[in-house]
Amino acid sequence: MIQYPIPFIGICAYSGTGKTTLLTTLIPMLEKQGLRIGVIKHAHHNFEIDHKDKDSYKIRKAGAQQMLIASDNCIAKITARKQQPVSLEETLEQIDHKDLDLVLVEGFKHYHFPKIELHRSTTNNPYIYTQDSSVIALACDQKPEQNPRHIPILDLNNIEDISKFIIQYLQGSEQIKHINYK
């Protein structure tokens, strides 16, 4: 299991299941509970947050290994990388956890860390929890044929219950092992 100074929980699923949609609804609920949230999103494709006509892009392309762009309301760090797989540990190191209570991780489903699996019956994807013992809950839109008795089943469409589960998990409640929200 990966060690980190503050709790981090993954939201794992196959593409098209609704991970980002869930996070954009879940984060405000958790913030209302007083939690300060950081998020890591794993992208399976190249992406560019800078643009060719910007000075920061020109400086980075001139050879800067790291480029920090700062304004009064936002700071962005761009780090040049060789073409190699990014690890969750390396990515967690980039988060300034001192002002956070929880890091939510979207993706990195093949890593061993606490994760909530999202499963949508219409996608016909296999369940992840059957092969991954680090899945701590299953959030689905339809109860699975085989009931995973070792983890709670949450209603994928009830974000409030998912939020409650996360709060209980953070509090270390033993009750969560016995709750089935479905």
Instruction: Report pLDDT for 81.
Output: 76
Residues 6+ apart with CB under 8 A from 138: 116, 117, 119, 127, 129, 144, 148, 151, 152, 153, 154
Read off the pTM. Answer: 0.86
The topology (CATH level 3) of 8-42+86-178 is: Rossmann fold (3.40.50)
Instruction: Report pLDDT for 6.
Output: 93
Give 104-154 pLDDT, tens digit per residue. Answer: 999 899 999 999 999 999 999 999 999 999 999 999 999 888 877 789 999
Strands 153-155 and 135-140: parallel
Give 11-45 pLDDT, tens digit per residue. Answer: 999 999 999 999 999 999 999 999 999 999 988 66
Give 78-88 pLDDT, tens digit per residue. Answer: 887 777 788 89
CATH 3.40.50.300 spans which residues of the chain? 8-42+86-178
